Chain A
Amino acid sequence: MKIHKYDTVIVGAGGAGMRAAIESTKRSRTAVLTKLYPTRSHTGAAQGGMAAALANVEEDNWEWHTFDTIKGGDYLVDQDAAEILAKEAIDAVLDLEKMGLPFGRTPAGEIDQRRFGGHSRNHGEAPVRRACYSGDRTGHMILQTLYQNCIKEGVEFFNEFYVLDQLIVEEDGVKKSAGVVAYELATGEIHVFQAKSVIYASGGTGKFFKVTSNAHTLTGDGQAACYRRGLPLEDMEFFQFHPTGIWRMGILLTEGARGEGGILRNKDGERFMEKYAPVMKDLASRDVVSRSIYTEIREGRGCGPEGDHVYLDLTHLPPEQLDAKLPDITEFARTYLGIEPYTDPIPIQPTAHYAMGGIPTNVEGEVLSDNTTVVPGLYAAGEVACVSVHGANRLGTNSLLDINVFGKRAGIAAAEYAHTADYVELPENPAAQVQAQVENLLSATGTERVSVIRKELQETMDANVMVFRTEQTIKTAVEKIAELRERYKNVSVQDKGKRFNTDLLEAIELGNLLDLAEVMAVSALARKESRGGHYREDYPNRDDVNFMRHTMAYREVADGGKDSIRLDYKPVVQTRYQPMERKY
């Protein structure tokens, strides 16, 4: 075991982690621990754009953006946070441009903007061009640009280090962060990083679904590390299902495709979104479009022999426009489906995409241990966190924005805190839990296989807690997850070595997914209403009287060691916008 000491440790090198690192490295001695090489992070997969009311191509302002974000989130958004997001968006985009990001340009040489779902002019009048983009590779450009600037700033990376435990110490009844414990992939060695500040920027948790746009590595490690140490997780029942994933595979086809004029059609060729969202049509918010697609499928208007998908039709758009604005996604259709988007519609289905919930933070990125108390020295930003700017449903292009705005904020706040604070003393045997976990898995001889349990988990999640949920389906999922968590105790790995043991790490990642899936399902069961991405067929309406509040899920451990989930609730911050019925 090795012990390292840094002012600031950042967990994750995606957009949020690297944006934070650029700030904190200037101000404090910083280490970035990342399980992937930074440029492999899933921010690179983001396609369509990053929202900011630059008003480069038509009238726009941050107040409209704030409103759209709140409405898009079905009023579960904390309105003070949304206002910061929309206001600071403009500088966030300009910062990236100055760092070198090659945005698409208008004829006048300014940053070009395109339409995206849920973003509107003057509180819902008509779609507005607010998304700054670079082809359909905006995330790739953000990730590359941030990595380039990390090199420029001399950011210190520990690549292929997996953070597996968060060290929390109670001093005078206050929970404080003392550092993290990480596992080095290349050697199997365990490292303790003592730090005054720790920032989680470890991304999402989509791999508990089968059909998903998320990478294999998005397994919620950061959320799980904090949750196991008694910190709450907020709004985990809210997961976004993006309308247009490649049929069966889940690979994302950006909403920018509809922003450029693409149309969703059922088997009769009908533009069905006109029925469900007369104004915004194909550009209504994602939860609305995903439900509409499944309604078409359920009512027998799905495409193909099994009627299990619909079409994204781009055939009326000029090939030059597709080549210029959507080169990657058209190539995905060619590579993975063997069809030509110039002439054929693309078979699509909703795909599990984005976790609105996560580690609760305030607007400075400070992590909360209950509704109001901050954990000194602990921060989170990006998809791992819940500020909450996305509420019950995130608008497209608001996450690339979120990682930049709150990544920067967390980086500054963490570094500044490190200047004023002392190290919290490490607990005795800081690596004990990780050591035990690793040794147990390596010596286990049980008969359960990681891949089998993971597959069953993904199948139950897809079947029971996806776009449509009922008490019965969620209960089925809860029971199945409990069974799988039991069986997980009997899991063994074949690779017993120390070097690059990805077999072992997949087992650990599965443990994280199981814990988080349970939190999601239990939170969903208790929310007896429909709001944003959480749709209960048995409670089809939003219920502001009982559920205009954030879920806070805590892990409780009984004396015998058996764990359970305790749910609590946190008020939503409302400033100027009164909840209204959501229409597009």
Chain B
Amino acid sequence: MATPTMDKLAALEADNGSHLITVTFRIRRFNPEISEEATWEDFQLEIDPKERVLDGLHKIKWEMDGSLTFRRSCAHGICGSDAMRINGKNRLACKTLIKDINPSKPITIEAIKGLTVQKDLVVDMEPFFQAYRDVMPFLITKGNEPTRERLQSPEDRERFDDTTKCILCAACTSSCPVFWNDGQYFGPAAIVNAHRFIFDSRDEAGEQRLEILNDKDGVWRCRTTFNCTDACPRGIEVTKAIQEVKRALITRRF
């Protein structure tokens, strides 16, 4: 039964967690209570390379510098609290293992871009959620409510499955160069969430949502750089969703 992955399992189980390595976390610090300038600060820590970047941040906060500030909750990629720029790429700290990001060099960690930094890795999420609210992210139907559930075929359900996975972490929007240059742009996450309803067979406000996205700050601003798709920790094909919305705007079919 010694398939390559069975060996992996055996190796995993044999590991008693004693292979600590020393890594440097190079963190962009900012606290306007202390200084208007942001600075880089290095922390050296001993950590098991199979641990998460979030575990490393906790080690720093809990053992070295309690003032290091970041958001987190679930610690397994579900709540969307801890999107940050790690080695120049947007990721969730709780879904990024140390071993996967070349720990032999200093690991740089900074707040996501395009949203105002409030302290260390914490940004103001309000503009992000405002763009989300602007696309009317809720089911809109007409006529009488049925007594039982609305019917939807498995195929129709599948049509928008990908975009239901969004956890509103902002990794996509804050990796988008158009958004960096102009915060008025709705950004990929809002479009993803509009897509989720436009392509839901039960929804009857697709036209309205398309009009919102047809706006000058809407979907046409997208320049298809694929940064968003690369950044999405849920593996959503963000660029594809945006393309589908553009196509629906042209054909008015969805």
Contact = CB atoms under 8 A, between A and B. Distances in A.
B62 A449 contact: yes
Nearest to A503: B66
A60 to B, nearest CB: 15
Interface in B9-40: 9, 12-14, 16-17, 31-34
Interface stretch (B154-162, B218-226, B239-247): B154-162
Contact of A102 (B75, B76, B160): B160
Contact of A98 (B5, B14, B125, B145): B145
A194 to B, nearest CB: 26
Interface of A is mostly: loop
B218 to A, nearest CB: 19
B151 A108 contact: yes
A105 interface: yes
Given A102-B164, A451-B63, A45 B8 contact: no
B183 interface: no
Contact of A336 (B6, B76, B78, B164): B76
A94 B139 contact: no
Chain A, interface size category, equals 35 or more
B12 to A, nearest CB: 6
Contact of A45 (B32, B79, B150, B165): B79
Interface in A117-164: 134, 137, 140-141, 144, 148-149, 151-152
B102 interface: no
A100 B149 CA distance: 10
A332 B97 CA distance: 12
Contacts of B78: 44-45, 140, 328
Contacts of B202: 100
Contact of A340 (B5, B76, B118, B165): B5
Nearest to B17: A248
Nearest to B14: A305
A305 B197 CA distance: 50
A284 interface: no
Contact of B62 (A40, A251, A451): A451
B2 to A, nearest CB: 12
A493 B6 contact: no
A500 B200 contact: no
A84 interface: no
A75 to B, nearest CB: 33
A511 to B, nearest CB: 16
A561 interface: no
B172 interface: no
Contacts of A248: 17
Interface in A177-222: 186, 215-217
B251 interface: no
A104 B164 CA distance: 12
Interface in A321-357: 328, 332, 335-340, 343-345, 347
B157 A500 contact: no
B175 interface: no
Contact of B149 (A94, A152, A494): A94
A183 B3 CA distance: 55
B188 interface: no
Given A100-B202, A140-B167, A105 B152 contact: yes
A111 interface: yes
A148 B168 contact: no
Contact of A44 (B16, B74, B160): B74
A507 to B, nearest CB: 9
Interface in B60-105: 61-63, 65-67, 69-81, 95, 97
B142 to A, nearest CB: 13
Interface string A438-459: 0000000000011100000000
Given A36-B81, A186-B118, A494-B67, A102 B154 contact: no
Interface residues of B, number: 66
Contacts of B152: 105, 109
B81 A304 contact: no
A151 B13 contact: no
B254 interface: no
Indicate the member of B34, B125, B154 with the most A CB atoms within 10 Å. B154
A571 interface: no
Contacts of A493: 66
Interface in A416-470: 449-451
Given A105-B154, A339-B8, A39 B167 contact: yes
B122 interface: yes
A531 interface: no
A37 B97 CA distance: 25
A338 B6 CA distance: 11
B194 to A, nearest CB: 12
Nearest to A106: B154
B133 interface: yes
A100 B95 contact: no
A448 B16 CA distance: 29
A102 B66 contact: no
Contacts of A107: 153-154
Contacts of B167: 39, 44, 140
Nearest to B133: A151
A450 B62 contact: yes
A274 interface: no
A335 B75 CA distance: 12
Contacts of B165: 137, 140
Contacts of A309: 13
A479 interface: no
B137 interface: yes
A42 B73 contact: yes
A332 B76 CA distance: 8
A344 B133 contact: no
Interface in A31-51: 36-37, 39-42, 44-45
A579 interface: no
B157 A344 contact: no
Given A140-B167, A305-B14, A338-B8, A102 B157 contact: yes
B33 A498 contact: yes
B217 to A, nearest CB: 19
12 contacts: A37-B125, A37-B129, A39-B167, A45-B78, A45-B79, A98-B149, A110-B149, A344-B9, A347-B12, A497-B34, A499-B31, A500-B122
Given A102-B164, A344-B5, 19 more contacts: A36-B73, A36-B79, A37-B81, A39-B167, A41-B73, A42-B79, A44-B167, A45-B79, A102-B161, A251-B75, A339-B9, A344-B6, A347-B12, A450-B62, A494-B66, A494-B67, A503-B61, A503-B66, A503-B69
The 9 closest A-B pairs by CB, nearest first: A100-B139, A494-B66, A451-B62, A109-B151, A304-B13, A495-B67, A503-B66, A148-B138, A152-B138
